[in-house]
Amino acid sequence: MRTVGVEEELLLIDRESGEPRALSSAVLARAAKDAAGPAGAERHADDYRDPEEETFEKELQGQQLEFATQPRTGMDSLMEEIVRWRSEAARHAGDLGATVAALATSPLPVSPSVNVGSRYQWMEEQFGLTTQEQLTCGCHVHVSVESDDEGVAVLDRIRPWLSTLVALSANSPYWQGNDSRYSSYRSRVWGRWPMAGPTQIFGSAARYEEQVTDMVATGVLRDRGMIYFDARLSHRYPTVEIRVADVCLEASTTVLIAALARALVETAAREWRAGSPPPAHDVSLLRLAAWRAARSGLEDSLLDPVTMRPAPCGEVMAGLLDHVRDALEEAGDLDMVRKRTATLLEHGTGARVQRELLDRTGSLSAMVAECARRTQAT
């Protein structure tokens, strides 16, 4: 069975006001100290301790904290690890009077602080306001592939389905204290990067490599790590990395996205081996599908990935599940995915939850506090 791993970016916020706080370096220092254990304590080779200094990483902005799970085959173990690291992130932040919230943008006004480091400083100099405003928290899913050839064949075939993951994960309706009128405004902000977005059909690993090499050679990108395609071959792991999702308010939604991502990869790989060509949708249509998903979430129509015509979101999600049914069933994920998708369709995504909480409390700070609580809930 293919392994799947998740990277989540969390928002560091003041525990009282809910305002973002640039504490990532301090939180990482506490995590590293905690992982090292008491000073002078003897460590034995058979002692098991998760290296939190490697699990947690800083991101572009000081108000962000990222963690990465281990590669998993079972969704229950993936869920346990996500819940654990969210809780640990909140514990380390709590020592500094802060906490974490799985919010893809800050509902409260914020002036982001670009982290210290040559890479981040280069990005700020190169991209200016795009870098300075890029306080967005995403969820990246890594799914194992057997080779670059298989990986590129997968990239070519999952392109039209990625907008469904945007809709399911939508969790960023607010921007600088205002309702953006989008469900996933994060994805619109992320799209400001010139190297982000959907891709054309590559056709081969060689053509993919040529494209990446040409992009880096322009000098607009610092290196291969700045290939911000909606889905790409990881430059560090033997995986396809799907990068379109908002960080999800509930850990269970993250697991849903991970299960669907793996099923999409497996389904695409089978289509490739069977000689089925990838859907020939133009990039312009894929961009429109992504915009529609960001705007609607699960509250309005989406573009059907097969026809690229408007359809009710329930029908589009039913089509997604039908498309990956065999892969989900063989992985043992079908019942879980059906139930969690139905729950989102009935009760709404994180974007709807945020709006309902604000309607009920009348306070962005109170809404953020409740979202921080839900971030750590099981």
Q: How far apart are CA 151 and CA 163, in angstroms?
A: 19
Q: Which range marks the domain in which residue 308 is found?
A: 4-35+55-375
Residue 33 pLDDT: 86
Asked if residues 31 and 52 have their Cβ atoms less than 8 Å apart, the reply is: yes
Q: What is the rounded distance in angstroms from the CA atom of residue 319 to the CA atom of residue 316? A: 5
Q: Where in the chain does DSSP place strands (E)?
A: 4-14, 56-58, 64-68, 98-101, 138-144, 174-175, 178-179, 196-197, 228-229, 231-233, 239-246, 302-303, 310-311
At residue 53, does pLDDT exceed 90?
A: no
Amino acid at 20: P
% of the chain residues with pLDDT over 70: 95
Under DSSP, is residue 240 helix (H, G, I), strand (E, B) or coil? Answer: strand
The answer to whether position 43 is within a domain reads no
Is there a domain that residue 194 lies in? Answer: yes
pLDDT in tens, 216-238: 999 999 999 999 999 999 999 99
**Mean pLDDT over the full length of the chain:** 94
Q: Could you tell me if residue 123 is inside a domain?
A: yes
Per the domain annotation, does 46 fall within a domain? no
How many alpha carbons lie under 13 Å from residue 355 in its C-beta half-sphere?
20
Q: Please give the model's pTM, rounded to 2 decimal places.
A: 0.95
Flag whether pLDDT at 10 surpasses 90.
yes
On whether the CB atoms of residues 297 and 351 are closer than 8 A, the answer is yes
Q: Could you read off the pLDDT of 282-318 as tens digits, one per residue?
A: 999 999 999 999 999 999 999 999 999 999 999 999 9
Domain-embedded: residue 135: yes
pLDDT at 37: 62
b/e burial code for range 216-235 (CB count within 10 A of at least 16 → b): beeeebeeeebbebbbbbbe
Look at the chain and report how many structural domains it folds into.
1
Q: What is the mean pLDDT of residues 168-176?
A: 98
170 part of a folded domain: yes
CATH number of the domain within which 9 lies: 3.30.590.20
Per-residue confidence (pLDDT) for residue 99, from 0 to 100: 98
